[in-house]
Chain A
């Protein structure tokens, strides 16, 4: 009798078709998360105005109010303010606290920062895990770092193929360092078929954004005519740009060239 009394009537409202218990609940959860992060949060809006007018202490208060309501963007900004000691006293514990909450809500920048925090503390496994979440959400910086972690084998078993995958995703979003790393992989041809044309293409994209190693490599490819037609003018142009940035091999090359053809 006791059991029955506890069970009572069961009003499972399936007849009305309310999809409380169905697979739909995730689409509602998503809406709720996005709604609580909407930029129309009044505390957040006020804090942004304060921040932009340099009233950092006041801005921090506003961001904190919104952060406590679960506003992920505010939580993230608040964590960076604690990191920089802007408007609040520098405080690693508070910074990590808000960063983590924002990251758990799916804030991509917070995830990337949290990953970096773990990385700096030599916790590679956790760093990898958070980096992967941010990378999955298409953050180029995280995709590049994830590629590096795969390359070195930090927090994960090393895999050049995985590294290439992530470099590529970041590279196609215009992330120069990733473009240069991807070009390296094409140039070396260890984990994937060697392809000098692809190497030249990605070196060029990175070089145009000022990546010194890519400039040097591109110059070298022009010099020997690998993947692109040999072009002495282009060779000199790119090697000089790299040397101007202090790239050692490029400087040596410049000196050698000055000796060869002053």
Chain B
């Protein structure tokens, strides 16, 4: 019968196994959370598009008519307050129009400064998935690369630096002792937990935002067979009809006064 030689594990080595298990678990959770958040983000994005398309444009129409009414009122009876009112209404109409028709910040051309390029290369060299030691690490590196790409494409040097710092802090030296590795893995767990918390915060921020809450309301209504956006649009169309009538009334008045 062959004798199996079982080496007595050092306390560090035993702890290391446990820590690695924890690291893999928390990193797996991170991937899940990241995917969930990406889904929420794209759901919100799609909802935003639907909302602007079905409701936002109606707000723009309503505000435009209201602005015209106040402007006709200035034509009818000029006064400081009438003019101030017309200016405010016009500004509001412009804002709503911009919001509804997506006249956003100029889509800036992507031309990263050389320093950002250097930083990105420096980071990519270290976290490229091909460099991963095992499968778990490869998965993690893929995630990091994705983040780095995102940060790079929006010119976010801070995030790139943070990723690089994280990596420097934990990068393994060849032939390090178990104690050192243990320290390193502990740091890695801390980083992952910190990132998880950041994702939680982002999810809360997303859901607490106006669009997030409107999305939640619409989902709740949908479960009760209600179409919140359709209801909103119907109410708005009524208000537009009212405003249209008021505009025509003001214009009739102008004609009656012969101005």
Contact = CB atoms under 8 A, between A and B. Distances in A.
Interface of A: 4-20, 22-32, 34-36, 38-40, 136, 161-162, 164-166, 168-169, 172
A20 B211 contact: yes
B41 A5 contact: no
Given A23-B98, A27-B96, A35-B228, A9 B235 contact: no
Contacts of B99: 23-24, 26-27
Contact of A27 (B37, B81, B100, B190): B100
Nearest to B79: A165
B101 to A, nearest CB: 11
A225 B101 CA distance: 56
B41 to A, nearest CB: 5
B118 to A, nearest CB: 21
B210 interface: yes
A40 B104 contact: no
Chain B CB within 10 Å — which of A20, A27, A164 has the most? A27
Given A11-B199, A16-B42, A40-B231, A168 B211 contact: no
Contacts of A30: 59
Given A5-B194, A169-B73, A172-B250, A164 B210 contact: no
B190 A20 contact: no
Main secondary structure of the interface of A (DSSP, over half): helix
A22 B210 CA distance: 11
24 contacts: A8-B197, A9-B198, A9-B199, A11-B202, A12-B154, A13-B202, A15-B150, A18-B211, A19-B48, A20-B211, A22-B105, A23-B95, A26-B99, A27-B56, A27-B100, A28-B211, A30-B59, A31-B55, A32-B213, A32-B214, A38-B228, A136-B85, A161-B81, A165-B79
Interface string B215-252: 00110000000101001100110000000000001100
Interface of B: 37, 41-42, 44-45, 48, 51-52, 55-56, 59, 73, 76-77, 79-82, 85, 95-96, 98-100, 104-105, 147, 150, 153-154, 156, 158-159, 162-163, 165, 190, 194-195, 197-199, 202, 205-206, 209-214, 217-218, 226, 228, 231-232, 235-236, 249-250, 253
A38 B235 CA distance: 8
A7 B212 CA distance: 23
Contacts of A19: 48, 104, 211
Contacts of A169: 73
Residue from A4, A23, A31, A35 whose CB has the most chain B CB atoms within 10 Å: A31
B80 A161 contact: yes
Contacts of B214: 28, 31-32, 35
Contacts of A165: 77, 79-82
